[in-house]
Structure 1
Amino acid sequence: MAELVWTGSYTADSNGNGKGIGALSLGADGHVASLGLATAADSPSFLAIHPELPVVYAVEEHAQTVRAYRPSGASGLDPLGGTWPAGPAACHVAVDPQGRFLVVACWGDGQVVLYELDHDGGITSRHSAAPAVDPYGAGPGGEARPSRAHASLMLPDGRIMTTDLGHDLLRVWRYVPGEGLVADHQVVLPKGSGPRHLTRHSSGTVFVVTEYSIEVATVRPSPDGTFELAAIGPATAEGAFDGDSAAEIGLSPDGRHAYVGVRGSNRICVLRVTEDGTRLEPLADVPSGGNWPRHHLVRAGWLHVAHERSNDVVTFRLHPETGLPEGPISRVETGSPTALLAAGHLDGS
């Protein structure tokens, strides 16, 4: 049975070739087909889906807004309510597993913004969290590094972890209804590493890919619930090259392998997860099959890579034992794709 995937994009306002949120069909045999434009939007660069309702959320990066959508027909989307203000370069959105709120990260000024949701998935209120403080202080000439919030991860205990790429921080928050995000604690990563995106292993370990240093940080919870940096190591088997920047990290459904996209040299780097889920070991680097692999989607047996600059999504078969990508076996054109969001089967289930 085919799977529906929504695609975020950069549009003309961000010098991209997209037209809005697109729709793809992923076949059980790995074949990918375009279903056309789901809805016109201005640079909907990242997407998230409600855990229980057929509601999709998109940040409009250049317009500095966030908006909800609901399905229309087999592969269309209609707005649900109006747009809500976010912040400069709003680049990521994630939804609470209980459907109570969503969190938007803003690269432009470091804002982390929480929006509460109603029972229909509509946005009802906005709360901006406290700004980050650079743990490394000002530079030798007194210059300050800008805060660059980039992603958020919902934790099983209800807390939220966010990355600050500019301040080399992971910040952990608690949600207070009617107030938004309240700081719990933070984890400081090496200066200049640039934590970007993150994913949680079933062991409780959080793996964080660093955009600037091209590494993966391993963060573990202590008995009191405080996260600590356990290790940090290279994301690549062959090393980073000039002009590289890491993008997305994703885990295989069985938790045995992690996949990191590296822009510039255009690679997908495969790492083995140790048996206890506490460390990563680089295995191999594979050409991504296009230009500027900004985001990827890992499914059982398949890897789909969105290339922002070659305007395509490329599919690889994943070897069942080694986890290594084989192919590519499929390529579909779509304008400046920036995110891939699995949305269930095409029959709506």
Structure 2
Amino acid sequence: MATLRNAAQTSQPLPAAAVPAEDLIWTGCYTADNGGQGTGIGALRAAADGTLGWLGVAATADSPSFLAVHPTLGMVYAVGEAARTVTAYRRSGGFALERTGPDWPAGDAACHVAVDPRGRFLVVACWGDGQVLLYELDGDGGISARFAAAPSTLAGRPSRAHATLMLDDGRVMTTDLGHDLLRVWNYVPGQGLQLDHEVALPRDSGPRHLVQHPGGDVLVVTEYSVEVAVARRSSGSGTFSLAGVFPATRAGAAAGDSAAEIALSADGRHAYVGVRGSNRISVLEVDADAARPVADFPSGGDWPRHHLLRGARLHVAHERSGDVVTYPLDPESGLPGEAMGKVEVASPVALVPAGLRAGSAGQP
């Protein structure tokens, strides 16, 4: 099992000289309005060995709990979870971010934001009221229009939209944790998202976050059942269907556990699932037939809310213990070695790279 050695803990800011985008990682956090200790969007710098150092607060904001980065411009988008907003920021030198334009209204508990790979729009998922909102972007990356997608109408349970994935075929997939649905959308300029089709998951599984495998399958981590569901696309119609549901952990879920994030290695051979409660990261082997858990290891802190895979390093953000722990990964087995670093970050709930170094892995 991986254990934390006596790695340096960084709480003092590093020098604020210009930082290459490929070395920057933005951190979302909870602030006082959501019971957290953070003050806004933070910035971490990755050293040559993959360890992280704290740069400082890039922009003060209320509970910027998830972030997304424009594919070509120095723009960062943050949801304000308690404030029910989405806001655009522009990098203004060093690691500072400058607010650009007004706060745009979002829905209740806006918890996730993702940007179109072509920079045309962003999508916000709202856990509190189930809204899926598309915001068009202008040529400078500013938000210019807002469109609400059709709501899920499943009776008897509240809708809980939770995350968005930009698919490799240009469509958009969102999760509905309350209605146990994957929803696939088409973007129509000037109108927003139009529903293509839906995929039902087992009742009360709670689809939360998702990632697309290089082979085209979508792997979805389920918060409530602590499993990995695989959605497979038909080669003919392009319609996704449920291909299987697999345990997310080798040892099984413990009482009080809830799954959080899923990330894939660059070659698609291994998936990593964070489990809050028992505070574990689970490693799964992925092939054309299944996702098989092979090992669980302690995450190194309390409440692993989010994690980021960059090359052969796994960074795990712990919301409650207020830190990010870094593990080296064996490229063949996918298993972690001894933790190589730990940096203090107040109430971190998201890790998003400002830019991906060539050959690095993971979902921004």
TM category, shorter: over 0.9
User: What's 1:5 paired with?
Assistant: 25
Aligned pairs for 1:107-256 (under 5 A) are 107-134=127-154, 137=155, 144-222=156-234, 223-256=236-269
AA at the equivalent of 1:253 = A
Task: Give aligned-pair identity as a percent.
Answer: 66
Structure 2: segments with no counterpart, 5+ residues = 1-19, 358-364
1:26 aligns with 2:39: no
Structure 1: segments with no counterpart, 5+ residues = 138-143
Question: Residues of 2 paired with 1:28 and 1:325: CA distance?
Answer: 18
Three-state SS of the structure 2 residue aligned to 1:315 is strand
AA at the equivalent of 1:289 = G
1:88-119 Cα shifts (integer Å, max 9, x gaps): 00000000111110000000000000000000
Residue 284 of structure 1 is aligned with which of 281, 287, 295? 295
User: What's 1:141 paired with?
Assistant: none
User: What's 2:93 paired with?
Assistant: 73
User: What's 1:40 paired with?
Assistant: 60
Structure 1 position 345, deviation (Å): 7.7
AA at the equivalent of 1:36 = G
AA at the equivalent of 2:31 = T
AA at the equivalent of 2:193 = L
Question: Residues of 1 paired with 2:84 and 2:339: CA distance?
Answer: 35
AA at the equivalent of 2:219 = F
> Larger deviation: 36-45 or 322-331?
322-331
1:308-337 Cα shifts (integer Å, max 9, x gaps): 000000000001211111121100001000
AA at the equivalent of 1:88 = D
AA at the equivalent of 2:307 = H
Three-state SS of the structure 1 residue aligned to 2:119 is coil
Question: Residues of 1 paired with 2:338 and 2:348: CA distance?
Answer: 20
Distance change (3 Å), C-alpha of 1:291 and 1:183: same
Distance change (3 Å), C-alpha of 1:284 and 1:333: same
Number of corresponding residues: 336
Structure 1 position 158, deviation (Å): 1.4
1:259 aligns with 2:272: yes
1:127-176 Cα shifts (integer Å, max 9, x gaps): 00111022xx4xxxxxx211000001011221100000000000001111
Structure 1 position 279, deviation (Å): 1.9
1:316 aligns with 2:315: no
User: What's 1:328 paired with?
Assistant: 339
Three-state SS of the structure 1 residue aligned to 2:338 is strand
Question: Residues of 1 paired with 2:92 and 2:138: CA distance?
Answer: 20
> Larger deviation: 161-170 or 26-35?
26-35
Structure 1 position 74, deviation (Å): 1.1
Three-state SS of the structure 1 residue aligned to 2:129 is coil
Residue 120 of structure 2 is aligned with which of 100, 103, 107? 100
Structure 1 position 30, deviation (Å): 2.2
Question: Residues of 1 paired with 2:121 and 2:264: CA distance?
Answer: 25
Question: Residues of 2 paired with 1:31 and 1:205: CA distance?
Answer: 31
AA at the equivalent of 1:174 = N
Question: Residues of 1 paired with 2:106 and 2:228: CA distance?
Answer: 29
Three-state SS of the structure 2 residue aligned to 1:344 is coil
Structure 1 position 28, deviation (Å): 2.1
Q: After TM superposition, what 4+ stretches of structure 1 lie above 2 angstroms from structure 2?
A: none
Distance change (3 Å), C-alpha of 1:293 and 1:169: same
TM-score in terms of structure 2 length: 0.91
Three-state SS of the structure 2 residue aligned to 1:254 is coil
Judging by fraction of residues, say which structure has more strand: 1
Residue 270 of structure 1 is aligned with which of 273, 283, 289? 283
RMSD (Å), alpha carbons = 1.2
Q: Is the 8 A contact 1:4 1:345 kept in 2?
A: no
Question: Residues of 1 paired with 2:70 and 2:144: CA distance?
Answer: 15
Question: Residues of 1 paired with 2:118 and 2:230: CA distance?
Answer: 26
Q: Is the 8 A contact 2:246 2:290 kept in 1?
A: no
Question: Residues of 2 paired with 1:11 and 1:133: CA distance?
Answer: 33
Question: Residues of 2 paired with 1:17 and 1:254: CA distance?
Answer: 37
Q: Is the 8 A contact 2:174 2:184 kept in 1?
A: yes
Question: Residues of 2 paired with 1:260 and 1:72: CA distance?
Answer: 34
Question: Residues of 2 paired with 1:122 and 1:220: CA distance?
Answer: 34
Structure 1 position 299, deviation (Å): 1.1
TM-score in terms of structure 1 length: 0.95
Structure 1 position 13, deviation (Å): 0.4
Residue 302 of structure 1 is aligned with which of 308, 313, 320? 313
Question: Residues of 1 paired with 2:161 and 2:199: CA distance?
Answer: 14
